[in-house]
Amino acid sequence: MKRKKYKRKPFKPIDNEQFREVRIMNRLSINEVAKLLQVTSRTVANWESGASRIPYSAFKLLRYLANGALLPDAWKGWEIKGDTLWSPVGRPFRQHELTYISHYFTMARYWHADYERRKAKQQEAQIIDFKPPFRLVLGGKHD
């Protein structure tokens, strides 16, 4: 039986300038990055100078450990610490809480639709039951 050969994705090395930018944007020193990635500061210095290739996993881990930068801009202010997602207001969300989040959103959509429907009915009822506060009297005659 012949084995299938799968095409690998083309290798894209991490640019040392890109790595350095991520470090500087997160206000981290070379020693702090070395501590985060559990490598020596000399290794980080070699990566930034271009003397050695930067592993993609190290780059990705740096972005993640620095402040959850794997998340797109729409998630600004959110952080991942350990196994917990933290909201910008400081509320923690754990895995078991996020499992059913789609249900919460669905329930919120139904509630909002029901609220809008009831509000429209109430406004229609007010228009139908509208009675002017005064009666108009023409020519001195009235009902």
Query: Which pLDDT score is estimated for 42?
Result: 94
61 and 89, same domain (yes or no): no
Give CA–CA dist 121/60, Å, rounded. 53
- pTM equals 0.42
Asked if residue 137 belongs to a domain, the reply is no
Examine the fold and report which residue of 44, 70, 96 is the final residue of a domain before the chain moves on: 70
Give 97-115 pLDDT, tens digit per residue. 877 778 888 899 999 999 9
* Cβ contacts of 36-43, under 8 Å, gap ≥ 24: 36/61, 36/62, 36/65, 36/66, 37/61, 37/62, 37/65
pLDDT band of residue 132 (cuts 50, 70, 90) is low
Asked if residue 79 belongs to a domain, the reply is yes
Query: Which pLDDT score is estimated for 16?
Result: 87
Asked if residue 93 belongs to a domain, the reply is yes
If one counts the domains in the chain, the total is 2
How many residues would you count in the chain? 143
Query: Which pLDDT score is estimated for 103?
Result: 84
63 and 84, same domain (yes or no): no
pLDDT (mean) for 31-53? 90
- Tell me the residue range of the domain where 52 lies: 12-70
35 and 21 in contact (C-beta within 8 Å)? no
pLDDT (mean) for 138-142? 60
Asked if residue 82 belongs to a domain, the reply is yes
Strand order in 79-81's β-sheet? Answer: 79-81, 84-86, 92-94
What's the CATH code of the domain at 53? 1.10.260.40
Mean pLDDT of the chain: 80
Asked if residue 5 belongs to a domain, the reply is no
94 and 52, same domain (yes or no): no
Asked if residue 1 belongs to a domain, the reply is no
